[in-house]
């Protein structure tokens, strides 16, 4: 087995690492405390190719593969999970969906702007009454006499909702048939009928902006339909497979940051006359942290490789993506928990970033499919039972 990376993959990783350490890490704690969106950094990331890593160069992206995306995401998330959240949505959910299902005009209009950092994208599936049961959505799109769509409804927990120019929205176009009646639309938030609600006061990833969005007689043209009418739910689920690789990468970045901080701490911190890293109980925690981190990394690389192969053959990679997301998110939460414990009182203080890693890690077990949903996906794919 060959675990080496290509020059292009190492190059995008180096670009991401350099930007993360020089521009993101120095302001991460301040932006977290203020809940301030890192707009300038996001724009620069677009110019560096980090907001459209897998986007072909003809649409303004870096033209890289899924493994390059994973490597870059880990570097950004190690500096700030909130910034990585924005990067993940733009890459995995927004651009990926349009590249797979959009027309040439849609790709040029929407993907190019996002990939180059000129605009920010969002993905709107969740509603106040439907989270994991996403097909139970109430937002409706009704065709008018001109063949355009009039949209009414509300979505919740929309990452980048307050700052997004374009949104990939899912709405019911044929009521009464469940998932088969859902379609996908590309929304311009500058048009009449769109309103962003208040920014949510979140536990973690506080520098990313999250809100409810509301549509009141918003008119989407027939050309704003993404893919085929009635195929929106299957589109949403296939895009989430790619998104789960992004969240797994984010979780690895958070876990790695917590682990590296802990390694330094156990060597420098002394108790009873010697470094705390010399105590067997601490050593056991370090060993388990390392094992979980490496397992998550390798499973996420496998999922990224499977995605790349699926793009060539038309195959699926949902099981691999769910395994990676489940393993990495739970590893990040466990590692961050142990890191705070090993740091003791200082781990609980905002003087060190450990408490931020702990808060940020939790969301990776929740969004783009909870750990419970990942287990259902994996088991159903393995058994064939529903």
Active site residues: 368
| Residue 241, CA distances (Å) to 32, 284, 290 in order | 28, 34, 26
Q: Is the dihedral of CA 21, 22, 27, 31 positive or negative?
A: negative
**Angle (deg, nearest 10), helices 39-47 and 81-88:** 50
| Residue 133, CA distances (Å) to 228, 237, 354 in order | 22, 12, 33
Contact in structure between 233 and 170 (CB atoms under 8 Å) = yes
- Report the distance separating Cα 203 and Cα 369, nearest Å: 18
Cα angle 26, 296, 281 (rounded to 5 degrees) comes to: 80
- Report the distance separating Cα 98 and Cα 93, nearest Å: 9
Q: Which of 187, 193, 218 is nearest to 120 (CA)?
A: 187
- Report the distance separating Cα 151 and Cα 157, nearest Å: 19
Helices vs strands, H then E, count in the chain: 13, 10
């Amino acid at each position: 087995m060959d675990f080496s990376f290509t020059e292009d993959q190492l190059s995008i990783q180096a670009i991401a690492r350099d930007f993360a350490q020089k521009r993101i890490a120095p302001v991460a704690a301040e932006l977290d405390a203020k809940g301030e969106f890192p707009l300038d950094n996001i724009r620069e990331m677009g110019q560096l190719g980090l907001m459209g890593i897998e986007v072909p160069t003809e649409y303004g992206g870096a033209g890289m593969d899924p493994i390059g995306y994973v490597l870059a995401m880990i570097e950004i998330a190690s500096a700030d999970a909130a910034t990585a959240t924005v990067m993940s949505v733009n890459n995995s959910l927004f651009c990926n969906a349009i590249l797979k299902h959009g027309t040439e005009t849609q790709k040029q209009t929407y993907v190019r702007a996002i990939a180059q950092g000129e605009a920010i994208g969002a993905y709107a599936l969740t509603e106040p009454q439907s989270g994991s049961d996403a097909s139970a959505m109430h937002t409706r799109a009704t065709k008018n006499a001109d063949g355009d769509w009039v949209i009414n409804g509300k979505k919740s927990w929309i990452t980048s909702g307050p700052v997004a120019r374009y949104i990939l929205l899912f709405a019911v176009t044929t009521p009464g048939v469940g998932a088969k009646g859902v379609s996908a639309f590309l929304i311009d938030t500058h048009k009449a009928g769109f309103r962003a609600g208040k920014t949510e006061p979140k536990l973690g990833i506080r520098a990313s902006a999250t809100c409810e969005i509301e549509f009141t007689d918003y008119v989407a043209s027939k050309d704003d339909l993404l893919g085929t009418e009635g195929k929106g739910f299957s589109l949403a689920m296939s895009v989430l497979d790619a998104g789960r690789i992004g969240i797994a990468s984010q979780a690895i970045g958070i876990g790695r940051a917590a682990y590296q901080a802990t390694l330094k701490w156990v060597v420098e911190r002394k108790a009873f006359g010697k470094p705390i890293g010399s105590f067997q109980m601490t050593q056991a925690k370090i060993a388990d942290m390392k094992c979980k981190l490496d397992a998550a990394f390798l499973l996420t690389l496998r999922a990224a490789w499977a995605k790349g192969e699926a793009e060539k053959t038309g195959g699926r990679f949902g099981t691999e993506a769910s395994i990676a997301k489940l393993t990495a998110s739970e590893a990040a939460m466990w590692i961050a928990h142990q890191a705070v414990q090993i740091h003791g009182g200082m781990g609980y203080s905002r003087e060190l970033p450990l408490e931020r890693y702990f808060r940020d890690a939790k969301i990776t077990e929740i969004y783009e499919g909870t750990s419970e949903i990942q287990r259902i996906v994996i088991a159903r794919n393995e058994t064939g039972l529903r």
